[in-house]
Amino acid sequence: MFDLIPYGRRSRSLFDEMSRILEEPFFKNVSGARDFKVDVLDKGDHYLLKADLPGAKKEDIKIQLDGKFMTISAEQNIEKTEEQENYIYKERSYGSCCRSFDLTGVDTDAITGKFRDGVLTLELPKKEENKKSSRTIDIDFED
């Protein structure tokens, strides 16, 4: 009977199983622990950050600035119920995700953002660099 159940491509070695466990991220298959993908593009005068948050609602997304760090967090609570003649199917999914970014070199007072179709887009303007100007200093000589 156990031959009918797929088990890691029929790998029965304890060493193969231990290797698989150690190579996978700890929270990969744990319900409630989620991750989200982010792209950061350098657009010259600003950075463009795009975060994929499918299924999240605008009111569930929080962006917090703390000094030079920005933290994006989102919570998602989904409940699905399906009832038919002889059975009831109910599934709940609760989870949160959080990522932090170092904003050194970003003008945090001018950050703007939008959320559309499950994608959070933030425009992070770069700080004006102190332009070093070159000049000559005249020295008076005393006789």
Q: What pTM, to 2 d.p., does this model score? A: 0.61
**pLDDT at residue 14, as a whole number:** 61
Judged by phi (left if over 0) then psi (alpha if -120 to 50, else beta), residue 58 lies in alpha
- The answer to whether position 13 is within a domain reads no
Cβ neighbour number for residue 51 with a 10 Å cutoff: 24
CATH of the domain at 71: 2.60.40.790
- The answer to whether position 114 is within a domain reads yes
- The answer to whether position 134 is within a domain reads no
What is the rounded distance in angstroms from the CA atom of residue 72 to the CA atom of residue 98?
6
Closest Cα to residue 122, out of 62, 81, 67, 76? 62
∠ CA 53-56-62, rounded to 5° = 85
The domain containing residue 67 runs over which residues?
Answer: 33-125
The per-residue pLDDT for range 36-48, each reduced to its tens digit, is: 899 999 999 999 9
**pLDDT at residue 19, as a whole number:** 63
- The answer to whether position 142 is within a domain reads no
- The answer to whether position 87 is within a domain reads yes
**pLDDT at residue 131, as a whole number:** 53
Which of 6-15, 62-71, 75-84 has the weakest average pLDDT? Answer: 6-15
What is the rounded distance in angstroms from the CA atom of residue 111 to the CA atom of residue 133?
28
- The answer to whether position 16 is within a domain reads no
pLDDT surpassing 50 at residue 135: yes
- The answer to whether position 132 is within a domain reads no
Q: How many domains does the chain have?
A: 1
- The answer to whether position 70 is within a domain reads yes
Confidence of residue 33 (pLDDT cuts 50, 70, 90): very low
Overall average pLDDT of the 116-141 stretch: 82
Contact predicate 98/132, CB 8 Å: no
